[in-house]
């Protein structure tokens, strides 16, 4: 796949199986791949403008000799113009019309790309809703090409949508029941995410990506199916965790078969997007990938 170079960054067009291409960015020192890559799946509106820490992450990984992929899925912006690689048609994707069921295809497309590029070690990360997509992906595929995972500040959908009024919830149900699933709602979900009724229904009522909870009796069936091991990270001021980031991570981890082997990292005095602690998080990622790389080398030699 052709790479459009910009300094040490290369713009990617990653092909999904269903057709639309996804925008990504490869951070690397040369056009030749390193032997190790960290693929990071972004969350809703998790673009370079709202989450500039991705640049810090990429530069840190490159400093250690590792490649880094910033991987947008279907919701990095409200609307994204893309091309269906099978037909050549222009398509509009985005958070306004996202179908959560596409998450497995989206994440898998980046892993397919990494495999075709020839990486020896592939680590998979996700931030915010991207972490929930990683949970979903690994629970369904158990992809052996992925050696370990990083869940960076998973999204607590129940808490995020808790401010949605009963009237708004009823309106979403009404749109769905009367054949208006593809119509835009007259309000922005969570106060900042305009979307069609179908997408809002998935946020509010469906379990597809609602897989990280503060409640001990939440639906952790996806986490319980993950066979990989890895690392979970959160900022201690993360306001998406219902006020207790430590419990949020511990609760999620406790439902994973690999719980005893997983690493939990808490970044002090920062929130969901790591303001003022971007470099500290980047250093954790670099140290972790470097350590995993040494530990996992016998598995690939």
Residue 111: its pLDDT value, please?
98
**Contact by Cβ (8 Å): 187, 145:** no
Residue 1: its pLDDT value, please?
37
**Contact by Cβ (8 Å): 228, 258:** yes
Bridge-based pairing state of the strands 90-93 and 121-127: unpaired
Instruction: Tell me how far the alpha carbon of residue 200 is from its chain's centroid.
Output: 19
Length of the chain: 301
Which fold, 4-155+214-294?
Answer: Rossmann fold (3.40.50)
Q: pLDDT means per 10 residues in the chain (301 residues)?
A: 60 96 93 92 96 96 96 98 96 98 98 97 98 98 98 97 98 98 98 98 98 96 98 97 95 98 98 97 98 83 49
Distance CA 31, CA 67 (A): 11
Domain residue ranges in the chain:
4-155+214-294, 157-208
Residue 3: its pLDDT value, please?
46
Bridge-based pairing state of the strands 4-6 and 9-15: antiparallel
CB burial readout 253-275, b (16+ within 10 A) else e: bebbeeeeebbebebeebbbbbe
pTM of the model: 0.96
Q: How far is CA 199 from CA 42, 80, 98, 172, in A?
A: 18, 16, 6, 10
């Amino acid at each position: 796949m052709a790479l459009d170079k910009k300094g040490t960054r290369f713009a990617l067009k990653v092909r999904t199986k269903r057709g639309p291409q996804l925008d990504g960015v490869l951070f690397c020192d040369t056009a030749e791949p390193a032997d190790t890559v960290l693929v990071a799946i972004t969350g809703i509106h998790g673009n370079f403008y709202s989450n500039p820490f991705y640049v810090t992450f990429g530069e840190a990984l490159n400093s250690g000799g590792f490649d880094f992929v910033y991987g947008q899925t279907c919701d990095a912006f409200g609307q994204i113009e893309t091309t269906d690689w099978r037909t050549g048609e222009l398509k509009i994707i985005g958070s306004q019309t996202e179908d959560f069921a596409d998450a497995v295809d989206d994440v898998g497309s980046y892993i397919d790309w990494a495999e075709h590029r020839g990486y020896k070690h592939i680590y998979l990360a996700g931030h915010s809703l991207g972490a929930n997509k990683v949970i979903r992906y690994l629970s369904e595929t158990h992809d052996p090409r992925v050696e370990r995972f990083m869940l960076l500040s998973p999204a607590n959908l129940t808490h995020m949508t808790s401010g949605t009024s009963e009237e708004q919830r009823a309106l979403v149900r009404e749109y769905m029941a009367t054949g208006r699933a593809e119509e835009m709602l007259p309000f922005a979900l969570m106060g900042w995410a305009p979307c069609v009724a179908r997408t809002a229904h998935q946020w509010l009522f469906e379990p597809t990506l609602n897989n990280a909870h503060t409640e001990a009796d939440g639906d952790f069936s996806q986490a319980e199916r993950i066979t990989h091991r890895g690392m979970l990270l959160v900022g201690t001021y993360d306001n998406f965790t219902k006020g207790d980031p430590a419990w949020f991570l511990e609760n999620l981890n406790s439902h994973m078969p690999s719980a005893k082997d997983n690493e939990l990292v808490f970044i002090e005095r920062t929130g969901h997007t790591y303001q003022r602690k971007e470099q500290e998080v980047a250093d954790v990622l670099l140290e972790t990938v470097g350590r995993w790389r040494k530990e996992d080398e016998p598995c690939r030699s």
